[in-house]
Amino acid sequence: MLAIQVLINALVLGCLYACIAIGFSLVWGVLNVINLIHGSFIVLGAYLAWGAYNSLGLSPWYSLLIAAPAFFVFGYVLQRILLNRVITAPVLVTLTLTFGLDLILNNAMIYYFKADYRKLILNPPTGSISIFDVVVPIDRLIATGAALFLTFLLYLLLRRSKVGRAIVAVRLDRDAAVLMGVDVKSIYAVAFGLGAALAGCAGVLMALIFPISPLTSSAYLGKAFVVCVLGGLGSVSGALAGGLLLALVEGIGSVYLGPAHAVTLSFVLLIVFLIVRPQGLLGRKGFE
């Protein structure tokens, strides 16, 4: 029974991890920028859901509809006015720039929301399903479904829409895309906006399950890193595979070694993957 419970937990958590990582992976893959603000975006999304529920009584599902366009615009503008200026600079510069932005956003959140942990508590509570001894909370199940849906939406967007194909084209070969008439700067901004929108939506979903505090942003960022490297960069199915693998390893690790070692275990996994298979489980040069 324990094995099945661990497996179910890993499935549920893995989809959420994929949702955390997918926007990060998109930005990294397309722009070649490690977006250190990603964790803070997620926390901001969680605060949005929390605030909307507690002050306006808006259910988190409607918050998703607000978060997606709001974060898209935020990300788009950020890329247009700041990141596009240094996009061709060495790794160190873009990395440090996003770190600086993260310091500002995180500090602003600590200033306004304080560092206390808060929790979005749905009223009435959703309860949980239990079959034999396996227990699955319903809110977690719904969040997982929504995370899968968002991931699928991104996949469709990249596969079917014109702008999605342009993003893939820029990722595959920037120079050829320019020759084909793609406006690379605006595609960068769209990709960054999409990354931010996905982070915001992931934050709304996280608010349903985990406590909210500005201090948790680095934990989300760490998860996104690991999932990206495990799954392969800039690949939707890779993010899913990476998320599931990470959740499974963490689950098994906490059963056998104790929860205190889960973080160490995931980082050891990260380093092993970086060295043995840096392209990740499903890493290829495209969004397949």
Partner 1 sequence: MTRSHYILFAFLACVAALPLFGEAYALRLGTMACMYAVFALSWNIVGGFAGYPSFSTAAFFGLGAYSTGILMNKGVPLLVSVGVSLVFCLLLAAAFGAVLLRLRGHYFAIASLSLVEVFRELVNNATDLTGGGMGLNIPLVSGSSVMSDATFFFYAMWGLLLITAITVTIVATSKLGFGLNCIRQNETAASMVGLNATLYKAIAFGLSACFVGAAGGLYAAWVHYIDPSDVFDILYSVKPIVMALMGGLGSPLGVVFGAFLYLGLEEVVWRNYIQIHSGVLGVLIILLLLFLPHGLVSLRIEKIRQALFGRKASHV
Whichever of 205 and 281 has its CB closer to partner 1, that residue is 281
84 lies in the site for partner 1, by CB under 8 A: no
Give how far Cα 36 sits from Cα of 192, 202, 272, Å: 12, 16, 22
95 lies in the site for partner 1, by CB under 8 A: yes
Report the nearest approach of partner 1 to the CB of residue 208 (Å): 26
d(CA 77, CA 136) in angstroms, rounded, equals 40
| Binding-residue total with partner 1 (CB under 8 A) | 39
Q: Which of residues 254-273 bind partner 1 (CB under 8 A)?
A: 260-261, 263-264, 267-268, 270-271
Q: Which of residues 108-137 bind partner 1 (CB under 8 A)?
A: 108, 111
User: Among 13-21, 103-111, 148-156, 159-167, which window interacts with partner 1 (CB under 8 A)?
Assistant: 103-111
107 lies in the site for partner 1, by CB under 8 A: yes
* Spatial CA neighbour of 43 closest among 141, 112, 144: 112
Instruction: Out of 13, 229, 239, 247, point to the residue binding partner 1 (CB under 8 A).
Output: 229
Report the nearest approach of partner 1 to the CB of residue 162 (Å): 29
Residue indicated by tokens 């050829």: 176
Whichever of 5 and 254 has its CB closer to partner 1, that residue is 254
Give how far Cα 170 sits from Cα of 88, 103, 158, 269, Å: 14, 29, 12, 30
Give how far Cα 14 sits from Cα of 19, 38, 53, 258, 279, Å: 9, 18, 26, 19, 20
Whichever of 89 and 178 has its CB closer to partner 1, that residue is 89
Q: Which of residues 43-82 bind partner 1 (CB under 8 A)?
A: 82
- Close Cβ partners of 61 (under 8 Å, ≥ 6 residues apart): 146
Whichever of 155 and 220 has its CB closer to partner 1, that residue is 220
Q: Which of residues 200-219 bind partner 1 (CB under 8 A)?
A: 218
Instruction: Out of 61, 99, 117, 152, point to the residue binding partner 1 (CB under 8 A).
Output: 99
Whichever of 44 and 146 has its CB closer to partner 1, that residue is 44
Three-state DSSP at 114 gives: coil
Instruction: Out of 59, 65, 69, 85, point to the residue binding partner 1 (CB under 8 A).
Output: 85
| Contact in structure between 76 and 142 (CB atoms under 8 Å) | no
* CA count, 13 A, side-chain hemisphere, 274: 9
| Helix 38-51 vs helix 217-231: crossing angle, to nearest 10 | 120
Instruction: Out of 25, 106, 144, 216, point to the residue binding partner 1 (CB under 8 A).
Output: 106
d(CA 140, CA 128) in angstroms, rounded, equals 9
Can you read off the two tokens belonging to residue 65?
């509809």
Residues that bind partner 1 (CB under 8 A): 28, 32, 34, 82, 85-86, 89-93, 95-97, 99-104, 106-108, 111, 218, 222, 225, 229, 260-261, 263-264, 267-268, 270-271, 274-275, 278
